[in-house]
């Protein structure tokens, strides 16, 4: 069974239709890359998967999206539970003005976990999962702002993992990072897919090629082509896809 199934999804900001009839399914424990030129709707689509667009006024969505078979736009859906299950990492590292430890513990506390031992265990495990432990173990109670950008981004990923989601959404998570930090985050994504289902927006074609199993090419709000990453990059069927991946536009 597919983990995430989108069927005939349309999305509007006011009068403007940002997504047109998107149908796309994602298997569990895979990495799916969303690519396409600026403004084509990648972030809009990504944000639909944990209902972050609900926070924007005057928007409208039609079609269905299910995760684990549950319609996430159903009236019965608890949005807080959904967002616990579907974590998100943004383009710019956005640690809270708190200590390294408290950044990762935050989501646990918000979710009502008070047991000190459980919090400590989860914080350590999450920081280990993002391969940051050795770099921060001696300064867990220092401000997260004392970390480098790449370390902050891994911390933000740890923060997302601490609340044990099953889906991880990443919107250009390495675009603000240097090549070394980028490759650390890429290696991490590769490791994480054993446990999580990952959907990642990237403008970096090489990155999509390195880390994703499947790639979806969006153009002007439409899903033009969706296939195995290898197929998209070696023999796409649509001319627009080929033009984009070969750098002829976008
Ligand atoms: N809050 C908003 N209100 C109105 N229109 C919006 C809003 N957010 C995005 N849009 C519009 O929706 C379209 C898709 O935007 P989106 O941010 O999803 O694109 P994107 O593919 O993520 O682009 P980029 O690669 O630049 O991040 C664009 O035309 C954009 O101007
Ligand atoms: Mg975007």
Q: Rounded to whole angstroms, how far apart are CA atoms 166 and 179?
A: 28
Does residue 40 have its Cβ closer than 6 Å to ligand 1? yes
Q: Tens digits of per-residue pLDDT, 115-156?
A: 999 999 999 999 998 889 999 999 999 999 999 999 999 999
| Residue corresponding to tokens 């006011």 | 14
Lookup result for tokens 């896809």 = 241
Q: Which atom of ligand 1 is nearest to the CA of 91?
A: 27
Report the separation in Å between the CA atom of 21 and the middle of ligand 2, taken as the mean of its atom positions: 19
- Residue 200's alpha-carbon distances to 28, 171, 208, 226, in angstroms, are 14, 6, 9, 14
What is the atom index within ligand 1 of the atom nearest the CA of 14? 4
Give one DSSP letter per residue of 234-246, joined into a string.
H--SSHHHHHHHT
pLDDT attached to residue 241: 96
- Protein residues near ligand 2, an ion, with CB under 5 A: 43
Q: Which residues are registered as beta bridge partners of 65? A: 6
CA–CA separation, 143 vs 159, rounded Å? 14
| Whether pLDDT at 250 is above 70 | no
- pLDDT category, 178, cuts 50, 70, 90? confident
Measured CA to CA, the distance from residue 40 to residue 76 in angstroms comes to 31
Category of 68 on φ-ψ map: left (φ > 0), alpha (ψ -120 to 50) or beta: left
pLDDT tens, position by position, 44-92: 999 999 999 999 999 999 999 999 999 999 999 999 999 999 999 998 8
DSSP code for 172? S
Q: What's the angle, vertex CA 50, arms to CA 44 and CA 53, rounded to 5?
A: 45
Indicate whether residue 58 lines ligand 1 (CB < 6 A): no
> Which residues partner with 13 through β-bridges?
16, 59
Place of tokens 């969505």: 61
Query: What digits encode the pLDDT tens for the residues 26-55?
Result: 999 999 999 999 999 999 999 999 999 999
Ligand 1 midpoint to CA 40 (Å): 7
Tokens of 167: 């889906």
What does the pLDDT look like over 179-227, one tens digit per residue?
988 998 899 999 999 999 999 999 999 999 999 999 999 999 999 999 9
């Amino acid at each position: 069974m597919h983990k995430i199934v989108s069927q005939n999804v349309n999305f509007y900001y006011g009068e403007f239709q940002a997504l047109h009839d998107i149908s796309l399914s994602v298997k569990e424990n895979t990495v799916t890359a969303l690519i396409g030129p600026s403004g084509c709707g990648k972030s809009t689509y990504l944000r639909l998967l944990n209902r972050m667009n609900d926070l924007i006024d005057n928007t409208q969505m039609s079609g269905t999206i299910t995760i684990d078979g549950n319609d996430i736009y159903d009236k019965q859906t608890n949005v807080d539970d959904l967002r616990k299950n579907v974590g998100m990492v943004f383009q710019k590292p956005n640690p809270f003005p708190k200590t390294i430890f408290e950044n990762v513990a935050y989501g646990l506390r918000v979710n009502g976990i008070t047991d000190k031992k459980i919090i400590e265990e989860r914080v350590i495990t999450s920081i280990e999962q993002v391969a940051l432990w050795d770099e921060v173990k001696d300064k867990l109670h220092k401000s997260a702002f004392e970390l480098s950008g790449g370390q902050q981004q891994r911390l933000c990923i740890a923060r997302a993992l601490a609340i044990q989601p099953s889906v991880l959404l990443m919107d250009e998570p390495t675009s603000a990072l240097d090549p070394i930090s980028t490759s650390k985050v890429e290696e991490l994504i590769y490791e994480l897919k054993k446990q999580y289902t990952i959907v990642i927006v990237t403008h970096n074609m090489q990155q999509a090629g390195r880390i994703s199993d499947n790639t979806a090419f969006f153009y002007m709000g439409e899903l033009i082509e969706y296939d195995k990453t290898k197929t998209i990059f070696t023999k796409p069927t649509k001319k627009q896809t080929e033009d984009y991946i070969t750098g002829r536009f976008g």
